[in-house]
Amino acid sequence: MTGVKYTGIPSKEELENCPGVPDAERLEKGRVACVECVQEIPCNPCESICRFGAITVGEQITSLPVLHGEKCTGCGLCVANCPGLAITILDLNYSETRATVDFPFEYLPLPEEGDEVEAVGRDGAVICPGTIVKVTKISAYAGTAVIRMAIPKEHVMTVRSMKRPKRS
Amino acid sequence: MKIKETDIAIVGAGAAGLTAAIEARRAGAQVLVLDENRLPGGQLFKQIHKFFGSHEHRAGTRGFQIGRDLLKEVEQSGAEVWLNTVVYGMEPDTSLGVIHEDQNTVIKAKKVIVATGAKENYMAFPGSTLPGVMGAGAAQTMINVNRVLPGERIVMVGSGNVGLIVSYQLMQAGAEVLAIVEGAPFIGGYGVHAGKIRRAGVPILVSHTVTRAIGTEQVEAVEIAEVDSKFRPIPGTEQVLEADTVCLAVGLNPMTELLWLTGCKFTFIPAFGGHVPMHDAHMETTVPGLYVAGDVTGVEEASSAMEEGRLAGISAAESLGLIPREEAKERRGEVIRRLNVLRSGAFGEGRRRSKEQQLKAMEAFQAEGDRT
Amino acid sequence: MRIIEHPILETLDTSRTVTIYYNDRPVEALEGEPVAAALMNAGIKAFRTTAKRKEPRGIFCAIGRCTDCKMTVDGVPNVRTCMCPVKEGMRVYHQDGNGTFEKKDRT
């Protein structure tokens, strides 16, 4: 059985039908939010936090968040504000060969800028090496750190986090 | 024996009890809140994740922060809070027997709101009584409130939101979660909670159960196995995990003991955790002047409990003549609107139906009374 | 094991401690915490043995409902250690079965 209900991981179909996931065309244009929210749960902080109206949920807060790619600046406020930690910011234009993924991280120890880490997919399996570009932990994020990690471009739609370093 | 009189006594200083106190005080009632714990806040202070819902439910705010804010509000409200106070009994006239500062005290309140919450279910299997097998909520209390790791290698039983969230929090606290096992063929909780677990590399094994905890003085290993469609372990699928702790996240049941003592009527709703008190839209039970709120009325979640507490607080104050009828009605309407938002969607719909069933049971009971 | 640093919660304040005694052995505890937490931190998991089958029991619910964690505290048996805050010099004993009240010196 595949799909989020059976594995905890959204299936290819679920992601394709997910209105929060940007299309290839928008991805090409640079930094954009990727809202992998595929179940109707009562929740809408992604909508309330976005100053640009780029994510809408609507009156019925169980509706799936809809990404309006043209309005999204990739600012990343939604990443730390999503209680489900389901949002990442993808930047396909980071460099000639590399993309970045900004993902929420709530473990210790935090990585540091420049660290070489192992980038993992939605199932926690290591996909490729990653380089930590930026670590943001500000009070507005209420304990959640947002980590920007550079990875080879081809993995931008599969890498979603990093392997946790062992705690000393 | 001491006797203490008050307008409204509230049993339980958790999510529902505190909001009930705030609403009742706001209306000008004299309020006394009782809790057995040394700290108020109930289970809110162990909820270190960001809450769901919308802005008006304080979505995006972590549970313990909501707890802190509620406490501040209660303090400012002027409600009296007795901690380390055991409520050991309640009479049909709703007078309460309590032990406060080592003294037996009877509390005579014009209205009583019971907001005692819920407790965790147990699951029996060979070795399930061994030290090291505990409720998931117990582990959560240990790590987030007492800041002690109950074990280093955990097997979680149950993939509802409690199982998923506590697994995540155990990892945040520094433990290793070896697996989450789930008897059903699918994950019970939110996909986004499950997603965090999976990204951390932890398997969620559906159609699996724990068959045995191994050890003499404490858990030394755990045997799990795949189950068939009737939840029977399939021979040959057993595997042993080197775990030192088993956490059980197999549901909760309402703490209704005090309510039973009063003779208040119950109805049976399995989805709410078993026998739950009948109550009307004002949260009043079949015992006049006795109100209920939060998980004791049926197991839901903290945001709903806080809203139900408001309903009970407003209604109890109204019945004392402290809030005009129309205003009370309007304010309840606002709370119910917010509650309906929480009780919607694929996961909340069932709770809304259960609550309807509970209210209907009360209506039927009242109609019966009117005829006789 | 104590959780000092935490990704979400404040760093734990461990500056105020008291000493309690478990089976006459000193155990360091944080002021105000429940006895059960201090013992768990010290690696003690079996708090009592059952009356009939002499089986070990430990913490199950940690909120004062299940009574699996009861022990003899300062001479009083069946104290729910998950609800009982530590006090300096407190004497906590593993409990066998239903336990007995310690005989007070009447002289």
Please state the φ and ψ torsions of residue B2, each to the nearest 5 degrees.
-90, 150
The CATH H-level (homologous superfamily) assignment of domain B122-248 is: FAD/NAD(P)-binding domain (3.50.50.60)
Taking all residues of chain B, what is their mean pLDDT, rounded to a whole number?
96
Q: The tokens of B264 are what?
A: 């208040």
Q: Does B347 touch chain C (CB under 8 A)?
A: no
Residue B29 has pLDDT above 80, yes or no: yes
| Continuous H helices in B78-220 | 136-140, 161-172, 191-199
Task: Measure the CA–CA gap between A86 and C86, rounded to whole angstroms.
Answer: 42
Contact flag A108-C7 (C-beta cutoff 8 Å):
yes
Beta-strand pair A116-120/A126-136: antiparallel
Residue B112 has pLDDT above 90, yes or no: yes
Over residues B227-237, mean pLDDT: 97
pLDDT band, residue C31 (cuts 50/70/90): very high
pLDDT of residue C104: 61
Asked whether this chain's domains B2-119+252-371 and B122-248 adopt the same fold, the reply is yes
Looking at the domain assignment, is residue A53 inside a domain?
yes
Looking at the domain assignment, is residue C50 inside a domain?
yes
Over residues C48-56, mean pLDDT: 97
| Domain that residue C42 falls in | 17-96
Q: Nearest chain A Cα to B172, which residue?
A: A107
DSSP class of B296: G
Looking at the domain assignment, is residue A145 inside a domain?
yes
Looking at the domain assignment, is residue C55 inside a domain?
yes
In this structure, whether the domain defined by B2-119+252-371 belongs to CATH 3.90.420.10 is answered with no
Looking at the domain assignment, is residue C65 inside a domain?
yes
For B357, the enclosing helix (H) or strand (E) is helix B345-371
For the stretch A127-166, pLDDT in tens is: 999 999 999 999 999 999 999 999 999 999 999 999 998 8
A109 preceded by a cis bond (ω within 30 of 0) = yes
Residues C56/C71, Cβ–Cβ less than 8 Å: no
Instruction: Tell which A residues from 64 to 103 touch B, by Cβ distance under 8 Å.
Output: 81-86
| Chain B neighbors (3+ CB pairs < 8 Å) | A, C
Buried b (16+ CB within 10 A) or exposed e, B44-76: bbbbbbbbbbbeebbbbbbbbbbbeebbebbee
Number of compact structural domains in chain A: 1
Residue B372 has pLDDT above 70, yes or no: no
Residue B1 has pLDDT above 90, yes or no: no
Contacts of C41 in chain B (CB under 8 A): 148
CATH number at residue C45: 3.10.20.440
Q: The tokens of B166 are what?
A: 């506590």
pLDDT band, residue C105 (cuts 50/70/90): low
Beta-strand pair B2-11/B103-114: parallel
pLDDT of residue A148: 98
Question: Could you count the other beta carbons within 10 Å of the beta carbon of residue C43?
Answer: 9
For the stretch B271-323, pLDDT in tens is: 999 999 999 999 999 999 999 999 999 999 999 999 999 999 999 999 999 99
| Chain A neighbors (3+ CB pairs < 8 Å) | B, C
Counts of helices then strands in chain B (DSSP H, E): 9, 19
- The CA angle C86-B134-C22, to the nearest 5 degrees, is 30
Q: What is the ipTM of this complex?
A: 0.97
Q: Does A13 touch chain B (CB under 8 A)?
A: no
Q: Which of A19, C60, A42, A137 is nearest to B307 (CA)?
A: A42
Contacts of C6 in chain A (CB under 8 A): 108
Looking at the domain assignment, is residue A96 inside a domain?
yes
pLDDT of residue C107: 47
Q: The tokens of B168 are what?
A: 């995540």
Looking at the domain assignment, is residue C90 inside a domain?
yes
Task: Measure the CA–CA gap between A74 and B330, rounded to whole angstroms.
Answer: 42
pLDDT of residue B271: 96
pTM, rounded to two decimals: 0.96
Would the CA dihedral through B248, B253, B257, B258 be positive or negative?
A: positive
Number of compact structural domains in chain C: 1
Residues A163/A122, Cβ–Cβ less than 8 Å: no
Over residues B113-141, mean pLDDT: 98
pLDDT of residue B115: 98
Q: Does B12 touch chain C (CB under 8 A)?
A: no
Task: Measure the CA–CA gap between B207 and B211, rounded to whole angstroms.
Answer: 12
List residues of B whose CB lies inside 8 A of any A CB.
48-55, 59-62, 65, 171-172, 174, 185-187, 190-202, 204, 206, 341-342, 344-348
Looking at the domain assignment, is residue C105 inside a domain?
no
Q: Does B251 touch chain C (CB under 8 A)?
A: no
Beta-strand pair A161-162/B2-11: unpaired
Task: Measure the CA–CA gap between B91 and B69, rounded to whole angstroms.
Answer: 34
User: Regarding predicted confidence, which is higher, B269 or B372?
Assistant: B269
Residue A168 has pLDDT above 80, yes or no: no
Q: Following DSSP, what letter does each residue of A6-36 receive, concatenated?
A: HHSS--HHHHHT-TTSPPHHHHHTS-EEEE-
Break chain B into its structural domains and give their ranges: 2-119+252-371, 122-248
- The CA angle A155-A159-A160, to the nearest 5 degrees, is 155
Over residues B109-123, mean pLDDT: 97
Residue A70 has pLDDT above 70, yes or no: yes
Buried b (16+ CB within 10 A) or exposed e, A107-118: bbeebeeebebe
Residue C82 has pLDDT above 70, yes or no: yes
Residue A84 has pLDDT above 60, yes or no: yes
Looking at the domain assignment, is residue A46 inside a domain?
yes
Task: Measure the CA–CA gap between A161 and A159, rounded to whole angstroms.
Answer: 6
Taking all residues of chain A, what is their mean pLDDT, rounded to a whole number?
96
Supply the Cα-derived Rg of chain C in whole angstroms. 15
Of C9, C46, C65, the CB nearest to B144: C9
Contact flag A108-C5 (C-beta cutoff 8 Å):
yes
Contact flag C56-B142 (C-beta cutoff 8 Å):
no
Residues B226/B208, Cβ–Cβ less than 8 Å: yes
Q: Does B137 touch chain C (CB under 8 A)?
A: yes
| Domain that residue A18 falls in | 4-162
Looking at the domain assignment, is residue A168 inside a domain?
no
Contact flag B54-A143 (C-beta cutoff 8 Å):
no
